[in-house]
Amino acid sequence: MIGIPLHSLIADQQIMTHARLIWCDTAGNRSDHPAAHTRNRITTKKRAEGTVSHSAGGVAASSIWLLDRGERNREPGVIVTRLPIGASEIDFVIPAARVRHWLAGTGRPGAPKTSSMILLEIRLKDFRAHRSTRFSFGPGINLICGQNGIGKTNILEAAHYLCLTKSFLTSTDAYALRDGASFFEVEGDFTGARRERVRVRAAYTASGGKRMFLNGSPIDRTASLIGQLPVVVFSPEDHKLTADGPDGRRRFMNIVISQSSSVYLADLMRYRRTLKQRNELLLTAKKSGQPASTDQLASWTEELISHGTSLYKARIEFSEVYANLLREEHHRLGPSVEEPGLTYTPLPGVSSGAERGRVENAFREALQKSSRRERERGITMVGPHRDDLVFLLDGKEIRRYGSQGQHRTFGMALKLAQYRYLFDATDEPPLMLLDDVFDNLDRNRISIFLDILRGDDMGQSIITAARKDIFHGIIDFSNTRDRLIEITEAVMAETFAAKAKD
Ligand SMILES: Nc1ncnc2c1ncn2[C@@H]1O[C@H](COP(=O)(O)OP(=O)(O)O)[C@@H](O)[C@H]1O
Ligand SMILES: [Mg+2]
């Protein structure tokens, strides 16, 4: 354990005037059970608890003890509850990355920009509309402009392939194959302070499927790439997150948590495999009219409960942290009277901090309750695959009551919160891909959003827009960080030549 002065933490959080500390245990669980701590820690907890102030009266607690947080980072982390004056209590997680910077004596939260992974160049071959193109990027804001249908979104989609091995628009790789071509290839060069040069390649053939390569070597388990190059994409498709049913929000949770935890991704894959097997058993039984073998079903059920519980626990923890980030980002987007929120209540009687055994029992009970229905339908009716994460504005479901403008602001806040969540978890500012999100925004909003993108702790972003004039006076492309990339027919010449030949 390492002690660091509380006032240095507080001083960096200007709006934090009072703080109360809550401890994490070594697995990253918030601990509400002092008995679980050693005597020494209980003493520290008692001293730190209650309201402390860094203003004139000085600091009541002189140090925060940092405990290991989770297996992923093996870095110090701590959960602090902060109480801005006049506001209700807001949990606040100080990310491991920031704490490390404090400890390293930089005195400022947020990683310096040089530590982020930067996509230097991307090359597309027979990918969507691109016959053969290459684009290079600056470390700051990159604005891709060009007429509609020229191939701007295609470039973001290609970048997404490199980071997450797939598109954000389709789950079918074949759709990305240029009409008439037999393979596509996307290759990107990344660089960063920690890893000097990383070359990632996605290669797809109609007959052989997709393969990913890292620095020239094929990657056996493509899942191992997830989280290495954290990415956040914000596109018009995201409207569905706040407007449509729960599927998109489950996918969203999975994408965010998987990028920050390989353990979660592995659990998710195991859960899906088990679910598939269990469903097959139920469906076969239903079709044959014979009940499924009790032993077999029980064994799949226990496995489902085990993997499902891991997902539930991770999602509960995620939703708590995320709710606070969402609130902060929503406020950052402008003074709004509405309070955003989210609820995740997957199982009756299971709330935050619930023990694993308790979650398991609740899941088991829910499965038992639905057993007649699942026999009738031949499918597993309850579980994390049926979850919903509900987005709220002033306590009301935004999906049902939100105005267009409220959806838009909420969507932006969701993505900025995702950015911060991933940054905190992976210790690296993610690559931000913004597809066509500015065309419908007023100037004021554009400039607030771009100011955020230019903030000290932001990494690289790639933005597409049909019109560049909306950025006039807001982005100045004469510096070396930001770049304007115009896609014209000349840039796409090979595409047009290929089209003419067909
Ligand atoms: N598999 C494909 N093969 C060839 N062209 C494609 C394919 N998929 C999409 N396109 C073309 O790509 C273009 C769309 O590119 P897009 O990046 O969405 O444009 P925008 O610049 O408007 O973002 C369209 O002209 C579309 O016909
Ligand atoms: Mg587009």
Ligand 1: residue of 122, 126, 128, 185 to mutate (most ligand atoms within 8 A of CB) is 128
Tokens of 404: 């267009």
Cα–Cα distance, 75 to 26 (Å, whole number): 10
Question: What share of residues in the chain are helix, strand, coil (percent, to 5)?
Answer: 45, 20, 35
Asked whether the beta carbons of 16 and 81 are under 8 A apart, the reply is no
Question: For atom 5 of ligand 1, which residue has the closest CA?
Answer: 129
What is the token pair recorded at 223? Answer: 């899942």
Cα angle value 310/314/320 (rounded, 5°): 150
Q: Compute the distance between CA of residue 268 and CA of residue 254 in angstroms, rounded to an integer.
A: 8
> Which pTM value belongs to this model?
0.78
Inter-CA distances, 63 with 52, 78, 104, 404, Å: 12, 12, 16, 46
Q: How many residues does the chain have?
A: 502
pLDDT of residue 222: 86
Please answer whether residues 399 and 391 qualify as being in contact, where contact means their C-beta atoms are separated by less than 8 angstroms.
yes
Q: Tokens 């469906």 identify what position? A: 283
Residue ID of nearest Cα to ligand 1 atom 3: 178
Long-range contact list for 243-252, CB < 8 A, 24+ apart? 243/399, 243/402, 243/407, 244/399, 246/386, 246/387, 246/388, 246/389, 249/388, 249/389, 249/391, 250/384, 250/385, 250/387, 250/388, 250/389, 252/389, 252/414
CB 177 near ligand 1, within 6 Å: yes
| Nearest alpha carbon to residue 372 among 440, 285, 481 | 285
Q: Distance (Å, rounded) from C-alpha 340 to C-alpha 298?
A: 41
Q: Is 152 in the pocket of ligand 1 (CB under 6 A)?
A: yes
Q: pLDDT by residue for the chain (502 residues), tens digit each?
A: 233 334 344 333 322 222 333 333 333 344 332 222 222 222 222 223 222 222 222 222 222 333 322 222 323 333 333 333 322 233 333 444 444 444 444 333 333 444 578 999 999 999 999 999 999 999 999 999 999 999 999 999 999 999 999 999 999 999 999 999 999 999 999 997 666 789 999 999 999 999 999 999 999 888 888 988 999 999 999 999 999 999 999 999 999 999 999 999 999 999 999 999 999 999 999 999 888 889 999 999 999 999 999 999 999 999 999 999 999 899 888 776 789 999 999 998 888 888 999 999 999 999 999 999 999 999 999 999 999 999 999 999 999 999 988 999 999 999 999 998 998 888 788 999 999 998 878 888 888 888 888 877 788 999 999 988 888 888 888 888 899 999 998 888 887 787 777 6
Residue 194, both tokens: 């920690």
pLDDT for the residue 13: 35
Q: In this structure, what are the phi and psi dihedrals at residue 177, rounded to the nearest 5 degrees? A: -70, 125
Tokens of 352: 């935050």
pLDDT (0 to 100) of residue 40: 22
Tell whether ligand 1 has an atom less than 6 A from the beta carbon of residue 146: yes
Tokens of 275: 């679910």
Q: Say if ligand 1 is within 6 A of residue 154 CB.
A: yes
Question: Under CATH, domain 246-397 is a member of which superfamily?
Answer: RecF/RecN/SMC, N-terminal domain (1.20.1050.90)
pLDDT given for residue 193 in this prediction: 65
Phi first, then psi, for residue 478 (nearest 5°) are: -80, -10
Q: 179 in ligand 1 pocket by Cβ < 6 Å? A: yes
Ligand 1 atom closest to 156 (CA): 17
| CA-derived radius of gyration, the chain | 24
> Which amino acid, residue 274?
T
| The pLDDT of residue 352 | 82
Paired residues of 397 in beta bridges: 392
Ramachandran sector of residue 290 (left: φ over 0; alpha: ψ -120 to 50; beta: rest): beta
CATH 3.40.50.300 fits 113-230+428-501, yes or no: yes
* CB under 5 Å of ion ligand 2: residues: 153
pLDDT attached to residue 351: 83
Mutate which of 130, 147, 154, 436 for ligand 1 pocket (most atoms within 8 A of beta carbon): 154
| Inter-residue contact 8 to 102 (CB < 8 Å) | yes
How confident is the model at residue 194, as a pLDDT? 66
What is the greatest pairwise CA distance in the chain? 78
Residue nearest to atom 14 of ligand 1 (CA): 149
How far is the C-alpha of 61 from the C-alpha of 53, rounded, in Å? Answer: 9
**For residues 265 and 226, what is the distance between their CA atoms, to the nearest angstrom?**
9
- Give just the sign of the alpha carbon dihedral 310, 313, 315, 317: negative
Axis crossing angle, helix 294-332 with helix 404-426, rounded to the nearest 10: 110
- Rounded to whole angstroms, the Cα distance separating 148 from 410 reads 26
Nearest Cα neighbor of 453 from 472, 469, 438 is 438
Domain ranges of the chain: 2-103, 113-230+428-501, 246-397
Which tokens sit at 367? 């499965």
Q: Three-state secondary structure along 298-358?
A: HHHHHHHHHHHHHHHHHHHHHHHHHHHHHHHHHHHCCCCCCCEEEECCCCCCCCCCCCHHH
Strand partners, 77: 67
What does the pLDDT read at residue 50?
28
